[in-house]
Copies of this chain bind each other. A is one copy, B any other.
Amino acid sequence: MIVQEQDERSGGPDGEGGVRRPRVQKNVTRAIASDICADVFPIGGFLPTENELCLRYGVSRTVIRESLKILESKGLVRGRSRVGTVVCPKEEWNILDQQVLEWIGPRIFELDLLTCVLDARRAIEPFAAEFAAERATVQDVAEIERAWERMRDAAGDLEAFTQADVAFHAALLKASHNQIFMQLASIIQAALEFSLHASNEAAAACDEAVEIHKRLVEALRLRDKTAARECSLQMLDLAARDLAIAVKNHPAPSGA
């Protein structure tokens, strides 16, 4: 998988026109990461040598090395000096990292992450809702409500509805004013997107979801911690149902 456009002015090496040098760092990093996730480079195995990677992706060793450094800093690989670079087991990956989640993409399903995230949401979101009821500013509530309006107006459009739902929950975590909760927004977002996409039959439940989300907004306005927590729990029950549908729709990971 060559990441450059590859036209390199075959007429002659930088004779008069100069060599094209597009910005490829991000692409290369993503390409290697995707290949790792796609099992092109199997877990526990060695990556090709840096020089081989140069050829494979069509870039210089500088770019390859900086990409590997990024991947290493996120736990995907571990460079052993003069031996090679090995792919780390998935447990060591920083799955809370936004970029890592993007690289994993839909394969988040195969990592059994969705149930983990749902369990974690049950622990976190009711708390976050309580904190938000206590500490949310008017701006925070306004942002949450804007997301809710987008949910309401997205009737039928699952893509728009998903984006709005994601924005709603991210804004709620932000309104909790707890840095830890905020940082978890990325993984909740990833799980939510995939879960909703994979269960588009659940579109019928959107009305119900809109209603509950609305009640949460009102609870925040009234600074009613108990009601906020209660709404959050009900949302999670809906999310659990969506997830169950998504699991049913999806090819069983054990069968792979």
Contact = CB atoms under 8 A, between A and B. Distances in A.
A29 B208 CA distance: 50
Interface stretch (A4-12, A120-128, A219-227): A120-128
Contact of A124 (B73, B74, B112, B124): B124
A23 interface: yes
A116 B66 contact: no
Interface of A: 23, 62, 65-66, 69-70, 73-74, 81, 91, 94-97, 99, 111-113, 116-117, 119-120, 122-124, 126-128, 131, 178-184, 187
A6 B77 CA distance: 31
Nearest to A180: B120
A152 to B, nearest CB: 29
Closest 5 CB pairs of A and B: A123-B127, A120-B180, A70-B73, A116-B179, A66-B69
A142 to B, nearest CB: 19
A23 to B, nearest CB: 7
Contacts of A111: 179
Contact of A179 (B73, B91, B123): B91
Contacts of A187: 180
Contacts of A69: 66, 69-70
A128 to B, nearest CB: 8
B95 A73 contact: no
A184 B181 CA distance: 11
A55 B180 CA distance: 37
Given A96-B183, A123-B124, 12 more contacts: A62-B62, A69-B70, A73-B74, A96-B96, A116-B178, A117-B180, A120-B124, A120-B180, A123-B123, A123-B127, A123-B128, A124-B124
